Amino acid sequence: MTMLRLFIAFLEVGAFAFGGGYAVLPLIERVIVHRYGWLTMTEMTDVVSISQVTPGPIALNAATFVGMRVAGIPGAIIASVATVLPQAILLFLFGIFFFREKRSATIDHAFMSLRPGVAGLIAASTVSIFIASVFLSTSPIIIDPVVLIALAVVLILRIKRANIFPLVFLGAGIGLIGGLVEYLTQT
């Protein structure tokens, strides 16, 4: 029974999670905290902070976390699968039409507008990521020097076509050096 409820709850989260990123939080809160009571509001905040420091989409991180809480590792698997099931079914169906050899002129016209449109959407998301990362969490106007250095160094190397994986680690390294400087100057 618990497994079934877990499955249905995250099926709902997956089916109605449009927009990606933090847009999904109110939905998770409504279903997981208020309806099923699997997490308290404080634990919900914990899930958000753990999502910030781990890879992966927030909906999947929440699914794994709640699944573990309710029914251990099998629960985590059931909740994760339920989260991605609606999109998997839909995209599978869309894929049948989309990946056919011949495309109609109408679909071609739609994509001629979607390509620059999607570039615009990604640009907007990038501006949000930039603003969220560059300013100190304690103040909306003071720029975090560590973030700025990491950004500048990685930007230069990336323009010169350095690979992404090492650059992410370089960013982490710059962050750790910044942390060390802070740690030493405070004590």
Residue 10 Cβ vs other proteins, minimum distance, rounded to whole Å: 11
Determine phi and psi for 57, rounding to 5 degrees: -65, 145
Q: What residues between 123 and 142 interact with other proteins by CB under 8 A?
A: 123-130, 132-134
**Short-list 49, 78, 53, 54, CA closest to 66:** 78
When asked if residue 94 is in the footprint of other proteins (CB under 8 A), the reply is yes
Residue 185 Cβ vs other proteins, minimum distance, rounded to whole Å: 13
Six-digit token string for 107? 């679909």
- 16 or 40: whose CB is closer to other proteins? 16
- What is the per-residue binding string for other proteins in 160-179, x denoting contact by CB under 8 A? ---xxx-xx-xxxxxxxxxx
- 36 or 175: whose CB is closer to other proteins? 175
Count of residues near other proteins by CB under 8 A: 102
Q: What residues between 36 and 65 interact with other proteins by CB under 8 A?
A: 46, 49-61, 64-65
When asked if residue 120 is in the footprint of other proteins (CB under 8 A), the reply is yes
When asked if residue 92 is in the footprint of other proteins (CB under 8 A), the reply is yes
**Short-list 46, 81, 84, 53, CA closest to 67:** 81
Judged by CB under 8 A, the stretch of 1-9, 32-40, 115-123 that binds other proteins is 115-123
Residue 162 Cβ vs other proteins, minimum distance, rounded to whole Å: 10
When asked if residue 150 is in the footprint of other proteins (CB under 8 A), the reply is yes
When asked if residue 74 is in the footprint of other proteins (CB under 8 A), the reply is no
